[in-house]
Structure 1
Amino acid sequence: MKEPASATRTSEKPEQKGLAMTVGVVEFAADTGLALTKQLGRNEQKQLGQFLTPPGIARFMAQRAIAGVFGETIRVLEPAAGAGILAAAAVEAILSRENRPRCITVTLFEIDTRLLPALRKLAYRMRQVSRDAGVMLRMSIRCEDFLLAHEAIRQRHMADIVIANPPYFKVGSDDARSLAHAYAVHGQPNIYGLFMAASAALVAPGGRWCFITPRSWTNGAYFSAVRRQILRNLTIDAMHVFESRKDHFTDDEVLQEAMITWATAQGPGNNRVVVSYSRGLMDLPDAALRALPTNEIIGGDDDRLIALRTEEDHLAGLTATLETHGLKVSTGPVVAFRAKECLRQHIGANTVPLLWMQHVGHMKVQWPIQKKREHIVANAKCAWMLVANTPMVILRRFSPKEDPRRITAAVYTGELPGTVLGLENHLNYIYRPGGVMTPQEVLGLAAYLNSRLVDGHLRAVAGSTQVNASELRKLPLPSIDQLIAIGGICRPGMSLAEVDRVVETILGLDMACAVG
């Protein structure tokens, strides 16, 4: 939006007074909200998906969110208001500008009635602050579900700035909110994705959209429809990632790797996206910025995967995949609670090994480890959940948060007893259907998957500790000859530093070796 000349304020007295009065508006919202959430039990807070935005992060979001938005009237929407911290930060940022609008309208949606008294007090405080700055402020507090509001369903422009920290929890595909926004549903939706998708169409041309969410929306099939809806309506300008899963929400037990996304509605197509990282709130002011080509960040295919790279992706020149090499990835078929009758504590005449996540480490399988139920009966009744005991790469589907690598891939060459094997559901395994992987192929592929090259790639494209089968299928791989060459040097149980040296040497990369 272009800045109109009539929006300029020439009186210095209201400006000075307004700037002084805005101090504390965001803190006022945060304090009232925190007082309420501390009364909630942990389970109730999780059910509501209510995690308040710290004032420092709210201001960081708002400063960029208001950039370029000018006019006689500026409309601010917070679709999941909570205590109204983000709306307060947006108003504070607008009032702190030299060129202010004549009027600010703020619309807050909040379904928790316990927050309404605090929001009314905030509205009164914000009106006072705006009046002292020479700006009229109108506040609308709507105690209804934003996703079922007629504006969200009809997708009509209603805001110049949308700023949000939406709730996080999964909803059923038959939920009224999922049905109302079926264009954004693929599989089992998370409600925060529906908020992102629905609000993307409500921003007026040239307006701004800003969300703080988990990173999980940037990849995976479940959020593909959400990404398409967002990118149909918005141009992503910048992204900030909090690398710690708990340091961004200092007052809550949030173990999510979060990110902030800023976008412009129907703006000119950017050829670069500004990407920044910090561990949490404390080092936020020191976050370094990098402007990266948009086509390296946002995929051009139908999935529209978003990769948050801060350095060169060394896998960019690799074109092979598991399918190219005649390999397949599957998930372990043993679901413990469904297989109780087949699981055994001790070895028996008709049992075979059952591998769990705890048996799988970098470049090695360790079995037994005196874990409960690490044996499974091999008979006709249990046969459907057993796999052939042949060479394969076995991977953890989830990595511990303290693990140095996103992938934990083990070399398995068929050394355990039995013609079949049990693999628990928290494992993935890579094998050659209709054939057998050679030991060199297993060693080479496991080493490559454990390498820091792959780790860096996955940290860019996946924000969670889960590495799913669809991501493994798309992962760029070296040629089969290069994998065999890596496998010819590597051995089971090799350290990650040694793995890195071998992989980078075979791939012709000159990188300083880092242990871990």
Structure 2
Amino acid sequence: MTLVDAAHASGRGFTATLSRDEQRAMGQYMTPPTIARFMAQRLVADVQQDHVRVLEPSAGGGILAAAVVEALLAKQEDQRPGFIDLYLFELDARLVPGLEALCHQMAQACQAAGVQLDWRISQEDFLLSELALRGQAIEGLLTISNPPFLKLNKTSDRRAHLHSYAVYGQPNIYSLFMAATARLTPPGGKWCFITPRSWMAGQYFKAARHTMLAHLTIDSLHAFENRREGFEEDSVLQETVIAWASGRQLFEPSLNILLTRSQGASDLDQSQVTAVPTERVVGDDEHVMLSLPQSQQDPFEGWTATLRTYGFEVSTGRVVAFRAAEHIRETASSWSVPLLWLQHVKQQEINWPIRKKREHISATAASSWMLVPNAPMVLMRRFSPKEDARRVTCAPYVGMLPGLVLGLENHLNYIYRLSGRMTPYEARGLSAFLASKVVDEHFRALAGSTQVNATELRKLPLPPLAAIEEIGRKVSAKPSLEEIDEVVNRVLGLPVAAQAAA
């Protein structure tokens, strides 16, 4: 039995004793052998030091450490290290005996290859360890990890307090593992994590990204396109990504990042490699969000305008149903106006009323602060199912409903002109552009989530305003996605590759 197979058997034997609720509460999901080897092989590919140190900060069954040792021993003799120091951290005492047995097996394999292996198993929370809290780089360190993923209470959890440099909003424990180990990675050191891809974007992971990118240069990213196949043995529904990085102090925008994709573990060997400039993957503003572009070419190249450039703003609907209950009505009256909910907004179409919701809201002095002018705008669902054809579900509103003002429920975003009125052609053109294939690929690369938030909309590069208006003139009143893609590509003169992708 190989080292990886032995570790896998030990880890799976442990998780088999847990109920689904226990496993979820612990955030404990074991890495499949194929993925463990895939991670380790790329991690050690350029390692040539004679003395390496391997850290697995949330060891579980130790499969990732075993995969690294296997990969190091598989190197040609003149490139193989002479010494390996192994640091394993595992909080659950039930896993320690299996880790000890695995370490003995790894030591025997190393001895047979003429390599000395020393190991230390620490039964403690890595985030509370002296190593993590000290945060000093360790010479020759290779970190590999599949950390637990679960939310922490930043006000009561000691780990969030001690690693506050990586905490913003509601932290997830896996991002603290990523940030804490980034601080330990020296120039020339290597770092590899498999996690949900949510850390790559959004405000909650902003501080963790800043910490990681202050100590690391991202080398490669691999995305699992199928949510079910990354951890199929545990039925984990996550959009998963593997990140490899090198310890560096300087950000070099001239470098490329290697991107690969697979549906799951079974087609890893068929993953095609794309080299993409770092600046297309790692944002250069305060949010430092990461994306996974579909191609080398950037269809937005040369576009520097944003919503703000054209005097537009994006906001969230102000009507929070439970707080506004006294103002929401089942039927219309002389002093009520339409209230639009998420269900009223379809792709490029607004259907009101549908007579399944409380679709009216009083327009009085008491409720006026939560109402918006009845003027042209673009309405967007804040959440869309992953199965939807496009990440953005939006529709132009050109003033077809009665009243001087409208109510917009909190699950809608809306784009409007800050001063003056958006024209109907601007609303139709902007809505069609946001629903186009080229924008869909941009948001899927950036977020990989069901939410396109206001920050991402404000950062979206836009074509010239005249082109947006031309799109609005050429699309029909209720265009299909096929019509939208055809018009948008033709008006914007997108490259042939982008048209083919559409």
Given the two structures, how large is their TM-score scaled by the length of structure 1?
A: 0.89
Distance in 2, Cα, partners of 1:92 & 1:479: 54
> 1:184 aligns to what?
166
Asked if 1:163 corresponds to 2:144, the answer is yes
Superposition deviation, residue 515 in structure 1 = 9.7
Map 1:6-405; keep pairs closer than 5 Å: 23-99=1-77, 100-158=80-138, 160-174=141-155, 175-266=157-248, 269=252, 271-311=255-295, 312-345=297-330, 347=332, 350-405=335-390
Once the two structures are superposed, what CA deviation does each residue of 1:217-273 show, in whole Å capped at 9, x if it has no partner? 222333232222222212221111112222211112322211111111138857211
CA contact (8 A) 1:73 1:101 kept: yes
Q: Determine if contact 2:386/2:449 at 8 Å carries over to the other structure.
A: no
**Cα gap change, 1:368 to 1:283, in 2 (>3 Å):** farther
Report the AA paired with residue 67 of structure 1. Answer: A
Distance 1:347 1:129 in 2: 78
For the residues of structure 1 that align with 2:194 and 2:234, how far apart are their CA atoms? Answer: 15
Range 135-144 or range 465-474, more displaced: 135-144
Q: Secondary structure in 2 aligned to 1:201? A: helix
- In structure 1, the residue matched to 2:464 is 479
> Which residue of 2 is the match for residue 502 of structure 1?
487
Q: May I ask how many residue pairs the two structures share in their alignment? A: 494
SS in 2 for 1:405: coil
| Greater alpha carbon shift after TM alignment, 69-78 vs 301-310 | 301-310
1:356 and 1:131, CA in 2 relative to 1: closer, same or farther beyond 3 A? Answer: farther
CA offsets 1:456-482 (integer angstroms, 9 cap, x no match): 222222222211100100101122211
1:351-395 per-position Cα deviation (integer Å, ceiling 9, x unaligned):
443333222222111223343444444444444333233221111
Partner of 1:11: none
> What one-letter code is carried by the residue in structure 2 that aligns with 1:94?
L
Partners of 1:280 and 1:420 lie apart in 2 by 49
- 1:514 is displaced (CA, Å) by 6.6
The question of whether the paired residues in 2 share the 8 Å contact of 1:497 and 1:513 is answered with no
Q: Letter of the aligned partner of 2:30 in structure 1?
A: L
C-alpha distance in structure 1 between counterparts of 2:179 and 2:450, whole Å: 24
1:92-116 superposed Cα distances (whole Å, 9 cap, x missing partner): 1112222333332221122233323
Q: When the two structures are superposed, what TM-score results if normalisation uses the length of structure 2?
A: 0.91
Q: Compared with structure 1, are the counterparts of its residues 244 and 339 closer, same or farther at alpha carbon in structure 2 (3 Å cutoff)? A: farther
**Letter of the 2:209 counterpart:** R
Deviations 1:107-139 (A, max 9, x none): 112223332333233233323333333333223
Residue 145 of structure 1, CA deviation: 1.6
Structure 1, unaligned stretches of length 5 or more? 1-22
> What is the rounded CA distance, in whole Å, between the counterparts of 1:189 and 1:56 in structure 2?
30
- Give 3-state SS (helix, strand or coil) of 1:338's partner: coil
Change in Cα spacing, 1:152 to 1:418, as seen in structure 2 (3 Å) is: same
- Secondary structure of 2:314's counterpart equals strand
SS at 1:318's partner residue? coil
Q: State the Cα RMSD in Å.
A: 2.4
Q: Secondary structure at the match of 1:263?
A: strand
Q: Does the CA-based 8 Å contact 1:95-1:130 persist in structure 2?
A: yes
From the superposition, tell whether residues 383 and 47 of structure 1 become closer, same or farther in structure 2 (CA, over 3 Å).
farther
Bigger CA drift: 470-479 or 62-71? 62-71
Query: Which whole-Å CA distance do the structure 2 matches of 1:491 and 1:200 have between them?
Result: 51
Give the counterpart letter for 2:269 in structure 1: P
From the superposition, tell whether residues 514 and 361 of structure 1 become closer, same or farther in structure 2 (CA, over 3 Å): farther
Provide the C-alpha distance between the structure 1 equivalents of 2:19 and 2:10, rounded to a whole number of angstroms.
17
CA distance in 2, matches of 1:374, 1:514: 42
**Contact 2:82-2:114 within 8 A present in 1 as well:** yes
